[in-house]
Amino acid sequence: MSALLSWLMTPLSGAVDHSIQPWAYWHARSMVLGWGVLIPLGALLARYFKITPRQSWPQELDSKVWWHGHRALQWLGVLVMSLGVMLAWGRSQGMSTAANAHVWMGWVLVVLGWTQIVAGLARGSKGGPTSEQLRGDHYDMTPYRVWFERLHKSLGWLAVLGAIAVIVLGLVVADAPRWMLVVLSLWWLALTVAAWLWQRQGRCVDTYQAIWGPDAQHPGNTLQPIGWGIHRPTSR
């Protein structure tokens, strides 16, 4: 046991000790919390909980659980990420090639993160039978809405996957203790297993049907779902 603990506490390079500046470890903690925890949870919530396990769908439509949770987690994740950026601002002088790669890849994630926030605010009108106006970008699945969903979903998952690479590279640059990489790997493995199970259970439901039901009178139900592995149930 002592040998295992010693191995886990040893830096990735095998160095004798591990020491970084306070700004660096708070930067790392912010980025791991934002990109490694909050944003992936928000993405999984949006993909697999548009219909909750206890919801009597299609008698009960348009559960807002996923929407409020997704929005809160993504906003919080991006804000925490921005705090991490401010902590590291102007500290890239004299860095190694790997550190510079981490910086530039990190900036790509920053742009993607804020792009997702801005795109979410500009997603178009909703419409539908429960709204004051029946016509809406989402209910009618206008070309604007179709392209929004394509970009929002693809860029979102690209950012989540890219964040794993950037975080791992950051751990290498900081020569972090091995236990950090082990814990993060187990966390990401747990999220992957959960996603696999929920996918097999058919919980990745089309947003349109989750909101308005499967009736063919709704114009969006005549179109193919946007994204991969999306399930369109007729009843539960």
Task: Give the domains, in start order, of the chain with CATH numbers.
Answer: 20-48+57-222 (1.20.120)
95-118 pLDDT per residue, tens: 889 999 999 999 999 999 999 999
Three-state SS at 21: coil
**pTM strictly above 0.75:** yes
Confidence of residue 142 (pLDDT cuts 50, 70, 90): very high
| CA–CA dist 188, 43 (Å, integer) | 13
Contact criterion met (CB below 8 Å) for 32 and 167: yes
Model pLDDT, residue 92: 73
Residue 74 tokens, joined:
């993504």
